[in-house]
Structure 1
Amino acid sequence: MTTPTIDVRSVSKQFAGVRALDGVSVRLNAGEVHALVGENGAGKSTLIKLVTGVYRPDEGEVHYLGEPVAFARPRDAQAAGISTIYQEVNLVPLQSVASNLFLGREPRNRLGLVDRRRMYRDARDTLVRYGITVDVRRRLGELGLGVQQMVAVARALSTDARVVIMDEPTSSLEPREVDLLAGLVEVLRRQQVAVLYVTHKLDEVFRFCERVTVLRDGRLVHTGPVADTTRLRLVATMLGRDIDEVREHGATTFTDEHRDTTGAPVLQAAGLTRRPLLDDVTVEVRPGEVVGLAGLLGSGRTETAKAVFGVDPVDSGSVSVGGRARRRWSPASAIRDGLGMIPEDRKAEGIIADLSVRDNIVLAALPRLTTGGFLSERRQAELVDTFVTRLRIKVASTDQKVRELSGGNQQKVLLARMLCLHPKVLILDEPTRGIDVGAKSEIQSLIDELAEQGLGVLLISSELEEVVEGADRVLVLRDGAVVGTLRGDDISEDRIMRTIATASRAESSEAESSEAGDDDD
């Protein structure tokens, strides 16, 4: 039996009492591209860091070229021949392309100084060999993210690595650049380099990889040849769903029977495109309607929400609220236009941990509570008390720091912040993530109550059950595009998974055209 280049044997890693990895084993063979997939929190990043010396395993071993290794730091792993290309480009933007390509191993002249002429020449030759055309003297930060990512790939290839770990390598790449990456992966395969390809894009698993390993909640749940599985089975395994019979029927054209058609859409987002993250995404929400966005990690759910709310710019597309086109794209103007948003990461993008519950709730409403430059303490207190009572926020007092609250109560504080602005549409990105079962039930009930009162809701959740139970209509996204629409009784976990796995853009467009025709009759 051939000795694997990398042999991870039953490794476990624990942080603050939580097992990030639990007895995981993975083998990487020379000349093989091995996919590593799983949802957020599955343990992919922890596994990479154990292999590359960022962490030490609590249990188990990592073998490299047949010998046990315990790298003290990533530099030692790189020196041994293990190169990592991270999703976030970790090069130096203020230095030239050539300097980044040879960072830490610059060619030097007889005096020990950097031989820049030789470095520029070697950099051009290296990049051209891999099909990359760029001025190597330019600062890296002046180039697009896609080009920066390709320089990072070329740097890894130029180090004579025995193992290359690619962490979401196409996240910033255009389709043309993805094709170029495919050629680079083939170069590695021919050079007998072992490649660990971490991705959330199933198309790339089947395009690039021979084997696939699936992690879920820190555990190994599947490993085997890509040829022996299907997209549907892979999706079901990643999400932890049991399917008695794996069906290959493709996407279904869903009827419009249960669609809520009372009233004009309160939110219309058309043709949202932000390359390479979003591609012609259209979303409509009617008053009192909960529209779910479903898809795997990286499918474009959060990117759609941020584009609608104006957090991220778009290359093209339009957004209208209450029939009026939005002129400015920013969160502040979105709030003025009648949109509210609860972000995915409440700690990093939502709450201000060291401020009080009161201050967190009124933060966005301060202009409305101010007259002549003076803040009305009475109106502020009335507003806070109203929402603390209405949302049943459990606090010792409204002066309590919000960081002292449970996750569920922190989420309610964010809801209160948005609701006190009286929005027409509320965008909820993972509203029940990281909170206990009781608080989750309360949040879900609040969403239903708000919809019944006429508020439009755009709901994003990684938990299919939450989308199925809470949404009147579901848009299924994959690779930044809408690939299916489900309504009413057609909404089920099985159909969402089948659509993620098998539907095409063309099928989705045909279904939408058919439904539009039905509405006209």
Structure 2
Amino acid sequence: MHAVQNIEKRFAVFLLARESERMQEIDPKQSIVKMEGIYKSFAGVQALKNVSLELRDGEILALIGENGAGKSTLMRVLMGIEHKDAGAIYMNGKEINPATPIEAQALGIGMVFQEQALFPNLSVAENIFLGREEGMITANYLHWKELYKEAEMILNEVHLNHISPRTTLGTLSFSERQMVELARVLYPAVRSKRKGVIILDEPTAVLSPSEVEQLFTVVQGLREHASFVFISHHLDEIVEYTDRVEVMKDGENVGGLMTKDSSIQILQEMMVGREFSADFYLAGDLRTPEEEVVLELDGVTNKAISNISFKLRKGEILGVAGLMGCGKEELAKAIFGDVPITSGTITVGKDKKIAGNIEKAVEAGIGYLPSDRRAEAILNTMSVGHNITIANLENFEAKGFLSNLKEKACVDDYIERLKIKTPSAKTLITNLSGGNQQKVILARWLSCKPNIIIMEQPTRGIDVGAKQEIYKIMRDLADEGISIIVISDEMPELIGLSNRILTMRKGTITGELDCQKEEEINEKNIIQYIT
């Protein structure tokens, strides 16, 4: 308790000093947006409590906090997606109250969402101007030449001058589509020659390091047109690319500081209110797996992977590393039976063959957490409880009927065991933070009593505090004898968690690293096998 109090006092003094410094450094008259005393609640749960935020001319402001801290809710209020219960919003000194995203866009406020809000079957130009064609229409005729000319202009601003506005959006890479979305929200500010406000919600979650660098090269060049709010859990990017940081926790302001005065450790401690141990991945708890083989792949091949062979032991955490497109995601889907294989065998235990059949994989005791939990895992119209039990309903049957008591007991048990933060089991899963959604999907498979769990990008889009909670759960599962396959783009995560790491390139396994035998495994060891 004394340690926690000392940390809080230390940061209170630190933040007061920094707050004084930054107010002296920056003229308040330069403010583009001010949000003061914002309150917002959902079904009796207070999501925002007296929150204030200031965005200044031409700056890149980082907004950080744990999942559920209120970051996204605050930005949704600014965008007119949610309506505040109390408080005031000012833009260029005038009070505004955007009731819809369209009204926010008319004011020059735009948002690049983590899940892209674009139409892959339309052209680049059509995506940029969808819903904004009025000025290009005469007598019900759309002036395509003008539309393409304007599209070329704004594409040039975001360094996409090599892409034709006539190109079908779906043929572009993810990072290029993201730039198109940035062009779409930037256009009103550029054309009207007034400063805009652009919210970047986890824009780097699935980008490679070079793509991240490219994104921020573009953003840096757009400061004359807009100010940016950057929401991310990647604290290294916060420290490298932003001007100022504001921290939220439990729906309230924690404090802020100039980025030049910050460090990853300071930001971590501000976010979670405690110090982190040096053993962030709990590597000290790594257990030696048993000799029993619970899964064996022999020569598994399909369109994306070739001649994949390995064994997974009981209680082992097996990491899989590789660059985007190496086949690691397709490997996970092949094991779970979500995609067919053309040759080879997948054996669970001593003799159970499961290739190409999800039902057989589940019956054999395999659970699967896909990387895109929102598109492939959560059932967004259903409650937390129903998302947990949906894969295991037969176990709650009593005399031909579903036993609500049995189902409730199971749900309550996993909410408590995995520390899922939710107002109740009846809460819609979409109202939970990303980290808690991930725990719900994990609870779904744990309720099926699995022997093997495949986890793709288990901590993507999850804050630093929730990450360590997930790592602790994984360690506990391994201690119980459950085997885990971890597929991740974060090499420190794989190194810190795994007993062994398989490396992949162009659909094949190129190496195997034993984390318990090697004296020192680092990212360089892995990179030489995946590039």
Tell me the TM-score normalized by structure 2. 0.62
Alignment partners' CA distance in 2, 1:35 and 1:311: 41
- Aligned residue for 1:183, secondary structure, equals helix
Alignment partners' CA distance in 2, 1:165 and 1:265: 48
Do 2:454 and 2:485's aligned partners in 1 also have CA atoms closer than 8 Å?
Answer: no
Query: Would you say 1:80 and 2:107 are equivalent positions?
Result: yes
Shift of 1:74: 1.3
Which position in structure 1 is the counterpart of 2:220?
186
Mark the CA change 1:456 to 1:60 in structure 2 (over 3 Å): closer, same or farther: same
Query: Would you say 1:149 and 2:175 are equivalent positions?
Result: no
One of 274, 280, 287 as aligned partner of 1:242: 274
Query: Would you say 1:60 and 2:61 are equivalent positions?
Result: no
Alignment partners' CA distance in 2, 1:454 and 1:401: 22
Shift of 1:30: 0.7
The C-alpha deviation readout for 1:48-70, integer Å capped at 9, x for no partner, is 11111122211221111112211
Query: Would you say 1:158 and 2:190 are equivalent positions?
Result: no
The one-letter code matched in structure 1 to 2:174 is: L
Alignment partners' CA distance in 2, 1:84 and 1:454: 40
- Aligned residue for 2:102, secondary structure, equals helix
Query: Would you say 1:409 and 2:410 are equivalent positions?
Result: yes
- Aligned residue for 2:177, secondary structure, equals helix
- Aligned residue for 1:5, secondary structure, equals strand
Do 1:6 and 1:63's aligned partners in 2 also have CA atoms closer than 8 Å?
Answer: yes
The C-alpha deviation readout for 1:158-179, integer Å capped at 9, x for no partner, is 2215211111222344444333
Map 1:8-407; keep pairs closer than 5 Å: 8-106=35-133, 108=136, 111=139, 113-132=141-160, 133-160=162-189, 161-189=195-223, 191=224, 193-238=226-271, 240-243=272-275, 259-267=287-295, 286-287=313-314, 289=315, 310=336, 321-322=348-349, 328=355, 331-332=358-359, 334-335=361-362, 338-341=365-368, 348=379, 361=392, 399-400=401-402, 406=408
Alignment partners' CA distance in 2, 1:216 and 1:157: 30
Map 1:410-429; keep pairs closer than 5 Å: 410=411
- Aligned residue for 1:235, secondary structure, equals helix
- Aligned residue for 2:362, secondary structure, equals helix
Do 1:37 and 1:198's aligned partners in 2 also have CA atoms closer than 8 Å?
Answer: yes
The one-letter code matched in structure 2 to 1:123 is: A
The one-letter code matched in structure 2 to 1:86 is: F
Do 1:326 and 1:337's aligned partners in 2 also have CA atoms closer than 8 Å?
Answer: no
Percent identity for Structure 1 against Structure 2: 26
Alignment partners' CA distance in 1, 2:332 and 2:382: 17
Of 225-234 and 327-336, more deviation after overlay is shown by 327-336
Mark the CA change 1:42 to 1:265 in structure 2 (over 3 Å): closer, same or farther: farther
The one-letter code matched in structure 2 to 1:231 is: I
Alignment partners' CA distance in 2, 1:455 and 1:325: 13
Mark the CA change 1:241 to 1:267 in structure 2 (over 3 Å): closer, same or farther: farther
Do 2:122 and 2:169's aligned partners in 1 also have CA atoms closer than 8 Å?
Answer: yes
Query: Would you say 1:483 and 2:493 are equivalent positions?
Result: yes
The one-letter code matched in structure 2 to 1:193 is: A
Do 1:342 and 1:350's aligned partners in 2 also have CA atoms closer than 8 Å?
Answer: no
The C-alpha deviation readout for 1:202-243, integer Å capped at 9, x for no partner, is 2221222111122222122232112222212322333x2422
Alignment partners' CA distance in 1, 2:330 and 2:138: 55
Do 1:351 and 1:360's aligned partners in 2 also have CA atoms closer than 8 Å?
Answer: no
Mark the CA change 1:268 to 1:64 in structure 2 (over 3 Å): closer, same or farther: farther
Do 2:294 and 2:349's aligned partners in 1 also have CA atoms closer than 8 Å?
Answer: yes
Do 1:101 and 1:151's aligned partners in 2 also have CA atoms closer than 8 Å?
Answer: yes
Tell me the TM-score normalized by structure 1. 0.63
Alignment gaps of 5+ in structure 2: 1-26, 190-194, 299-309, 320-328, 426-435, 460-465, 499-511, 522-531
Shift of 1:292: 11
Do 1:351 and 1:402's aligned partners in 2 also have CA atoms closer than 8 Å?
Answer: no
Alignment partners' CA distance in 2, 1:341 and 1:104: 39
Mark the CA change 1:170 to 1:454 in structure 2 (over 3 Å): closer, same or farther: closer
Do 1:12 and 1:22's aligned partners in 2 also have CA atoms closer than 8 Å?
Answer: yes
Alignment partners' CA distance in 1, 2:240 and 2:70: 23
The C-alpha deviation readout for 1:136-172, integer Å capped at 9, x for no partner, is 2233234343322211111222221521111122234
Question: How many pairs does the alignment contain?
Answer: 416
The one-letter code matched in structure 1 to 2:128 is: L
The one-letter code matched in structure 1 to 2:176 is: V
